[in-house]
Structure 1
């Protein structure tokens, strides 16, 4: 099944069941590289966001979703591939660098790439400190960053829940943030921290979540 066909079917079904409140889609450029930086409340965020955005969105997904055996594994692989997922194995070092390289290649090809700066799902609904991968992508590619806030997905599919529930969903897409200039005089680490914090501030303004000073403990 193609991305376009799956998106059409998924969008129609999702809108009928969940009646999502989606605002700010006009802030996403119609073409060219763009980074969608979102908070992360649920597994289903990686389905909701691609189905809501009117262009192909690539994002990282655990390689296990592509490697699982049997019918369930085949179904998972088909859905995630059609949605634009890029398989990646979690971990530090080479795995982390490789994941960012994959995202950068998408952006250099003029694509839209989604990332969760918190690293993984929030365990308690708070917005955790962002990791600097989003800044690395923005500064290296010059692509604008569109902050994204999802709401309600943690009630649709809480952590460890296998079956989605019916609950209201809202998505907010903020105005693009431009980090293509003004940071060259800073040391790399400092520039990435500043950019990441600005992105997280923008996400917080959209989501209204309580902020956590620390990194996500599940990362």
Structure 2
């Protein structure tokens, strides 16, 4: 199959989420021509708000390519939200267990089946104090090397103004702009055919995060920090600030 059909449940999800997205955000969406029209592919994108999966999903859905997200498995048991995730074919990720391999296998199968799978390589909301992307984890690199599919880097910015990271109360007003910039598929050919070692996975992941960060720097109009913060459960200086660079 060259691309996933937009089924009833995805149409319902779009009908429910599109109106609030249109209400909350103006759109500055660029690079949609880089999303492949057919065939399997991956997207690697930054994560700075619990709202940005819906906001990014709106972007990709507008290209005609249905997004399949990898999401933490606890969301799939969360009432109506969980039912919608299951019905629309999203991929549960059981964090901290060996079963995470099953999620990566499902992602490989989806890509090989002609679908567009969305990865957040950081694996969590950014804990960088200025909301720059952190260092990534290697799951997306494993799938990219296994499938050799097009990998599209994407940066997004703006959802954090409505729902700041690690907060639950949204800021509805004033209406803000959701900015998305997709770049061309990354050239990973020099990594194909090599032994898949932790070092190689780290190199590929760094390529992903570098491309995402460069796109976000373009959106924000300012240079990114020279060193990306490592992922981890606790931020050394507390929760990220969104008051400075917005």
Range into which the TM-score falls when normalised by the shorter chain: 0.7 to 0.9
Contact kept? 1:147, 1:199, Cα under 8 Å? yes
| Residue in 2 that maps onto 1:188 | 196
Q: CA deviation at 1:2?
A: 1.7
* Contact 2:27/2:179 (<8 A) preserved: yes
Name the TM-score, length of structure 1 as normaliser: 0.86
The runs of 4+ residues in structure 1 deviating greater than 6 Å are: none
1:35 is matched with which residue: 32, 42, 48? 42
Structure 2 counterpart of 1:57: 67
Which of 205, 211, 215 lines up with 1:206 in the alignment? 215
Q: 1:215 aligns with which of 230, 233, 238?
A: 230
Deviation at 1:143, TM superposition (A): 0.7
Are the equivalent residues in 1 in contact too, given 2:145–2:192 (CA < 8 A)?
no
Equivalence map 1:102-117=2 (5 Å): 102-117=106-121
Q: Distance in 2 between matches of 1:27 and 1:115?
A: 16
Specify the alignment match of 2:178 in structure 1.
169
> What pairs up with 1:65-214 in 2 under 5 angstroms?
65-68=75-78, 73=79, 75-81=80-86, 84-92=89-97, 94-123=98-127, 124=129, 125-166=131-172, 167-179=176-188, 181-184=189-192, 186-189=194-197, 190-208=199-217, 209-210=224-225, 212-214=227-229
CA distance, structure 1, for counterparts of residue 166 and residue 192 of structure 2: 43
Structure 1 unmatched runs, 5+: none
CA deviation after TM superposition for structure 1 residue 128, in Å:
1.0
Gap runs ≥5 in structure 2: 1-7, 218-223, 235-246
Residues 24-56 of structure 1 show CA distances to partners (whole Å, capped at 9, x for unaligned) of 111000111111101110111221111111211
Number of residue equivalences: 212
TM normalised by structure 2 equals 0.78
Relative to structure 1, the CA distance from residue 212 to residue 136 in structure 2 (aligned partners, 3 Å threshold; closer, same or farther) is: same
Is 1:47–1:83's contact at 8 Å kept on the other side of the alignment?
no
